[in-house]
A and B are shown apart, each in its own frame.
Chain A
Amino acid sequence: MGSFRREKEEEEDGPSNAYQNLEKTSVLQETRTFNETPVNARKCIHILTKILYLINQGEQLVAREATDCFFAMTKLFQSKDVVLRRMVYLGIKELSSIAEDVIIVTSSLTKDMTGKEDLYRAAAIRALCSITDHTMLQAVERYMKQCIVDKNAAVSCAALVSSLRLASTAGDVVKRWANEAQEAMNSDNIMVQYHALGLLYHIRKSDRLAVSKLVNKLTRGSLKSPYAACMLIRIACKLVEEEDIPSEELSDSPLFTFIESCLRHKSEMVIYEAAHAIVNLKNTNPRMLSPAFSILQLFCSSPKATLRFAAVRTLNKVAMTHPAAVTTCNLDLEGLITDSNRSVATLAITTLLKTGAESSVERLMKQISTFVAEISDEFKVVVVQAISALCTKYPRKHTVLMNFLSSMLREEGGLEYKTSIVDTIITIIEENADAKESGLSHLCEFIEDCEHVSLAVRILHLLGKEGPFAATPSKYIRFIYNRVILESPIVRAAAVTALAQFGASCPALQGNILVLLGRCQMDPDDEVRDRATYYLNILNSEKPEIYKDYIIERENCSLALLEKALVEHLNGQLDSRFDISTIPKAAIVKAEISNDVMLVTNSAPRPPKITREEESAARLAQLPGIQVFGPIHRSTASIQLTESETEYTVQCIKHIFAQHVVFQFDCLNTLSDQFLENVRVELTLPEGYSAHGIIPCPKLPYNELQTTYAIVEFPPDAGSSLATFGATLRFVVKDCDPNTGEPDSEEGYDDEYMLEDLEITVADQVQKTKKNNFQVAWDAADSEEWLQAEDTFVLSAVTTLQDAVNSIIKILGLGPANLSEKVPEGTHIHTLLCSGSFRGGIEVLVRAKLALSEGVTLNLTVRSTDQDVAEVITAAIG
């Protein structure tokens, strides 16, 4: 039957499908026909179509072939056949990027563009602009201006769209066409209106005032084109967000009134755009939101799948920001759970999961499990993310969710999908102590039959970290040792490390572990044997204090910076010892559970996670004399030193070194008629600090981000390092031509600009560390070398323990340990444990006992190897 069908099909297609089995070379041969006179239009159209078809199928032409073909095509301008001419334009556009000397057709195209035949003109403009470059543009500028305001809509559209394309390469020329675009704006044709708005906005977009004028004018009249209206809504939203209008004023703002009025537009696409815009605005209140949500609710029950999809996608996105409003749509969302479009169904369920009450979790999970096998991996990931969010919200539901996740884990699925499940389980384990045991055993089961090496290694690492502290550590050892027998070398090595963790942390199991590690020494793989030998020797030493440093708490330095520091060390004086403690720690990367659970899983690989320190180290390395400061300790997040809407904007990043601080000022000049030179920031230094140098920025043209640095040395005692700096931006101004950016004259004048004050705080000077086992470190610090400072405070500004914990962590900049940053509900006392390293690599351990009474009473104990530092830390709270 099948073969019969195929035969029949071939019979049918046979004569008509001239596009099957085309050969590139033979088709290109056929272009010779183009040279015949008179031109056989029908035949040439057919050949051209074949060439374009081949290109469209992905056939690559080399420059020579393309050029030959292009020149053959130029002969076809002789023919008067309309379709042929149009196909030639299409061919020009396709080949213009590959062929050489394409500008040869400029005059033919210009002729067509200015001719009488309307059917040629529009297409000729677009073809012309695909071959025109910056220099040629001057010649056709006059025609372009005329075409923009042409009364033929197609011509006008073509000119406007081409101008938009040209604007990316020849912005300054296109800018001069604003008046024409403005005139086209008044056209009756909806597409002309849309394209004119696009061009006008593009010309003016860097000038906020002009954009705002444009929008104000247009919002008053009613735009006929739905596309233009959608675009205007987007521009209006951008203005609203930039102006950051507070919510009480927003409802009266003309911009918002316009967006709201679009909810009553007659085109559905504009109504949706407006509703989507409103629910995504920042400063809204429930009264403003409700009409938009009613619209979305209405769309949920539309017969059109696209409308339902649009509505539920929008609801899903804002489920976290406006849970209450989304809940009002719950009934409609429930109706969509069984939607025939699986994308709609998945979005509906995950939205419900995000907003749903604790009681409905079980029911929804059951619903999902009925169709989870049918949906694509991408949507499964969305479901997993929703479950992950749910676990954080309802920790008590962990058994249901954990069981669900583990059943998902057993099903078929790609690496990305499995990774997201494992990630979620790990997050649950880390956040919820009750779920630890069951989570670990699910993961143990999973690695018994896991094809993904990377996941197996991660899970083994986790088992090594968490397993020894579980109720019965011994039960995990079997799972881990199975891996040593069965898996690939990478997994075996990870398993050996995990075993050693048990040996170091559980004295009772140490004997057994030693036996197992002994067997691993026979392993055929080098790495596995090496690890086994290493751990065996340490464990055989029977000195628990060295277990801590060499097995349990492995320093996780930032590798990039460690390498750099080692290279510097080797190049410098080799008589001093290399001090590893000065290397910044690798960032504690905490996977952010993105609230906007988009369905987008970008196929592009995510950029590797690099810490701010690694990033700035590369940048700062170019500064002269920076090496003597030693490795960088910490870079702070950037802060604004100016309002965002001023002539010059300056942002500051503080790079902290052992004895120095480098202020990095990123400056932006927002005045198009000024050219700044010798830009630098002068600091008023507080007592104790001494200036070390300034690296000015020689030139600061309009709209280019440039950087200047100021280097300052810390005072010798840590106590006086907390201080405030005054800052002034100084520079030489030269007036310049806004279009070219060239200064008008050599003469300039000095000017200055006040910046906001800068502060150096304790948190700036502290790098977070994460202790896997805080108690061991704390006890070990109870020795001669360590110093202790203790103080008691009453924090009156905060009312809950969680707030107090958050603010302590923020002020001190330390990394919390043992999940102590989360205060369990309903308690009155809590202990926060955290650690970090002060600049210069001085370790700091903090134990904060909190008790809730009138305010919050805090007993702070700081252990550090430096007395000054311990005092600074305690003083920072006061």
Chain B
Amino acid sequence: MDGFMMDIIKGMCIMDNDGNRILAKYYDKNILSTLKEQKAFEKNLFNKTHRSNTEIIMLDGLTCVYKSNVDLFFYVMGSAYENELILLSVLNCLYDSISLILKKNVEKRLVLENLEIIMLAFDEICDGGIILDADPSSVVKRVDLRNDDIPIAEQTVAQVLQSAREQLKWSILK
């Protein structure tokens, strides 16, 4: 409980199923500040977690919650004293946002294809350790901006319906 109690997230990370980092962010200057430490930590973390899917582990003084899908592993790290459920809510937000962005096909190939959007999502979920947003739908609304580019003719029926619904909602709210 240091600083101003807001720096809850110590790090977030996505790895592939060989333990290679796809994206990783560490927010605390005092924890895992060098690349060497980070890589060592990630290796250790991956070895301890890739076989058993048990959601939470304590490692090197950090509480890590994690989740895996097909060929990807998602991790959120917090201090050992942190409320584990808050960390879990952030992990869920990270995973669900990516799932929404990739239309439920959460796998490495698609993550890499949409890496810029995933990077933006990282940035919208956590700003330097402070939880910025934990609601996947609002995160996705802010980062998945590509739909606008697709001409109406190429949109799926669902997308058209979705945007129609959005427009209707806004016209009512105004």
A binding-site residues for B, Cβ under 8 Å: 12-13, 16-19, 45-46, 48-49, 52-53, 56-58, 82-83, 86-87, 90, 93, 119, 122-123, 126, 153-154, 157-158, 161-162, 164-165, 167, 191, 194-195, 198, 201-202, 205, 227, 230-231, 234-235, 238, 268-269, 272-273, 276, 304-307, 309-310, 313, 340-343, 376, 378, 598-603
Q: Which residues of A contact B130 (CB under 8 A)?
A: 161, 164, 195, 198
Q: Is the CB of B58 within 8 A of A599?
A: yes
The residues in B between 98 and 140 inclusive whose CB is less than 8 angstroms from any CB of A are 109, 112-113, 115-117, 119-120, 123, 127-128, 130-135, 138
A317 to chain B, nearest CB (A): 9
Beta-carbon nearest neighbor of B44 in chain A: A376
A876 to chain B, nearest CB (A): 42
Q: Is the CB of B148 within 8 A of A82?
A: yes
Q: Is the CB of B115 within 8 A of A53?
A: yes
Q: Is the CB of B5 within 8 A of A268?
A: no
Q: Which residues of A contact B80 (CB under 8 A)?
A: 598-600
Q: Is the CB of A230 within 8 A of B83?
A: yes
Q: Which residues of B contact A48 (CB under 8 A)?
A: 116
Q: Is the CB of B133 within 8 A of A119?
A: no
Q: Mark B59-83, 1 if CB is under 8 A from A, else 0.
A: 1110001000000000000001001
Q: Which residues of B contact A269 (CB under 8 A)?
A: 83, 85-86, 88-89
- A83–B120 alpha-carbon span in the complex (Å): 9
Beta-carbon nearest neighbor of A346 in chain B: B58
Judged by a CB distance under 8 angstroms, whether B172 is at the interface is: no
Q: Which residues of B contact A56 (CB under 8 A)?
A: 21, 23-25
Beta-carbon nearest neighbor of A273 in chain B: B83
Judged by a CB distance under 8 angstroms, whether B35 is at the interface is: yes
Q: Is the CB of A157 within 8 A of B4?
A: no
Q: Is the CB of B5 within 8 A of A343?
A: no
B26 to chain A, nearest CB (A): 11
Judged by a CB distance under 8 angstroms, whether B39 is at the interface is: yes
Give 5 nearest A-B pairs by CB, closest first. Answer: A269-B85, A58-B35, A305-B55, A341-B54, A310-B84
- A602–B117 alpha-carbon span in the complex (Å): 35
- Pair count A-B, CB < 8 A: 157
26 contacts between A and B (CB under 8 A): A16-B109, A46-B116, A49-B115, A53-B23, A83-B146, A87-B116, A123-B123, A126-B127, A158-B132, A161-B127, A201-B4, A205-B4, A269-B83, A273-B83, A304-B55, A305-B54, A305-B55, A306-B84, A307-B85, A309-B56, A310-B85, A376-B48, A598-B80, A600-B58, A600-B80, A601-B61
- A699–B119 alpha-carbon span in the complex (Å): 50
Judged by a CB distance under 8 angstroms, whether B168 is at the interface is: no
- A46–B52 alpha-carbon span in the complex (Å): 36
Q: Is the CB of A18 within 8 A of B112?
A: yes
Beta-carbon nearest neighbor of B34 in chain A: A58
- A119–B84 alpha-carbon span in the complex (Å): 32
- A16–B113 alpha-carbon span in the complex (Å): 7
Picked from B23, B61, B112, B131, the residue with its CB within 8 Å of the CB of A17 is: B112
Known: A153-B138, A191-B133. 10 other contacts (CB 8 A): A16-B112, A45-B116, A48-B116, A86-B143, A86-B145, A157-B132, A164-B130, A305-B54, A310-B85, A603-B60
Picked from A157, A231, A304, A341, the residue with its CB within 8 Å of the CB of B5 is: A231
Q: Is the CB of B21 within 8 A of A57?
A: yes
- A235–B146 alpha-carbon span in the complex (Å): 42
Q: Which residues of A contact B57 (CB under 8 A)?
A: 341, 343
Q: Is the CB of A603 within 8 A of B61?
A: yes
Q: Which residues of A contact B25 (CB under 8 A)?
A: 56
Known: A269-B89, A378-B58. A276 touches B115 (CB 8 A): no
Q: Which residues of A contact B1 (CB under 8 A)?
A: 234, 238
Q: Is the CB of B117 within 8 A of A83?
A: yes
The residues in B between 12 and 62 inclusive whose CB is less than 8 angstroms from any CB of A are 21, 23-25, 35, 38-39, 48, 52, 54-61
Q: Which residues of B contact A122 (CB under 8 A)?
A: 142
Q: Is the CB of A82 within 8 A of B145?
A: yes
Picked from A119, A164, A268, A306, the residue with its CB within 8 Å of the CB of B56 is: A306
B binding-site residues for A, Cβ under 8 Å: 1, 4-6, 21, 23-25, 35, 38-39, 48, 52, 54-61, 65, 80, 83-89, 109, 112-113, 115-117, 119-120, 123, 127-128, 130-135, 138, 142-143, 145-146, 148
Q: Which residues of A contact B52 (CB under 8 A)?
A: 340-342
Q: Is the CB of A13 within 8 A of B109?
A: yes
- A343–B48 alpha-carbon span in the complex (Å): 11
- A309–B135 alpha-carbon span in the complex (Å): 24
Picked from B60, B84, B131, the residue with its CB within 8 Å of the CB of A227 is: B131
Q: Is the CB of A83 within 8 A of B145?
A: yes
B150 to chain A, nearest CB (A): 13
Best-surrounded residue of A165, A273, A307, A603 (most CB of chain B within 10 A): A603
- A157–B131 alpha-carbon span in the complex (Å): 10
- A637–B51 alpha-carbon span in the complex (Å): 51
A311 to chain B, nearest CB (A): 9
Beta-carbon nearest neighbor of B85 in chain A: A269
B76 to chain A, nearest CB (A): 11
Q: Is the CB of A86 within 8 A of B120?
A: yes
Known: A49-B115, A306-B65. A341 touches B83 (CB 8 A): no
Q: Which residues of A contact B123 (CB under 8 A)?
A: 90, 93, 123
Beta-carbon nearest neighbor of B113 in chain A: A16
Picked from A16, A46, A268, A341, the residue with its CB within 8 Å of the CB of B55 is: A341
Q: Is the CB of B84 within 8 A of A378?
A: no
Q: Which residues of B contact A238 (CB under 8 A)?
A: 1
B72 to chain A, nearest CB (A): 14
Q: Is the CB of B145 within 8 A of A119?
A: yes
Q: Which residues of B contact A162 (CB under 8 A)?
A: 127
- A125–B60 alpha-carbon span in the complex (Å): 35
- A598–B61 alpha-carbon span in the complex (Å): 9
Q: Which residues of A contact B148 (CB under 8 A)?
A: 82
Q: Which residues of A contact B109 (CB under 8 A)?
A: 12-13, 16-17
Beta-carbon nearest neighbor of B130 in chain A: A161
Q: Is the CB of B119 within 8 A of A198?
A: no
Q: Is the CB of B133 within 8 A of A90?
A: no
Known: A269-B86, A305-B54, A310-B84. A198 touches B112 (CB 8 A): no
- A600–B55 alpha-carbon span in the complex (Å): 18
Q: Which residues of B contact A45 (CB under 8 A)?
A: 116
Picked from A52, A202, A376, A598, the residue with its CB within 8 Å of the CB of B119 is: A52
- A123–B123 alpha-carbon span in the complex (Å): 9
Q: Which residues of B contact A273 (CB under 8 A)?
A: 83, 85
Beta-carbon nearest neighbor of A58 in chain B: B35
Beta-carbon nearest neighbor of A82 in chain B: B145
Q: Is the CB of A49 within 8 A of B85?
A: no
A242 to chain B, nearest CB (A): 13
Beta-carbon nearest neighbor of A12 in chain B: B109
- A49–B111 alpha-carbon span in the complex (Å): 12
Q: Which residues of B contact A305 (CB under 8 A)?
A: 54-56
- A161–B27 alpha-carbon span in the complex (Å): 14
Q: Is the CB of B65 within 8 A of A157?
A: no
- A154–B80 alpha-carbon span in the complex (Å): 30
Q: Is the CB of B83 within 8 A of A157?
A: no
Beta-carbon nearest neighbor of A89 in chain B: B123
Q: Which residues of A contact B59 (CB under 8 A)?
A: 376, 378
Picked from B38, B85, B119, the residue with its CB within 8 Å of the CB of A306 is: B85
B38 to chain A, nearest CB (A): 7
Q: Which residues of A contact B120 (CB under 8 A)?
A: 83, 86-87, 90
A137 to chain B, nearest CB (A): 17
Best-surrounded residue of B84, B132, B142 (most CB of chain A within 10 A): B84
Q: Which residues of B contact A17 (CB under 8 A)?
A: 109, 112
Q: Which residues of A contact B58 (CB under 8 A)?
A: 343, 378, 599-600
- A9–B169 alpha-carbon span in the complex (Å): 45
B69 to chain A, nearest CB (A): 17
A166 to chain B, nearest CB (A): 12
Known: A273-B83, A343-B58. A306 touches B113 (CB 8 A): no
- A195–B35 alpha-carbon span in the complex (Å): 30
Q: Which residues of B contact A154 (CB under 8 A)?
A: 133, 138, 142
Q: Which residues of B contact A158 (CB under 8 A)?
A: 127, 132
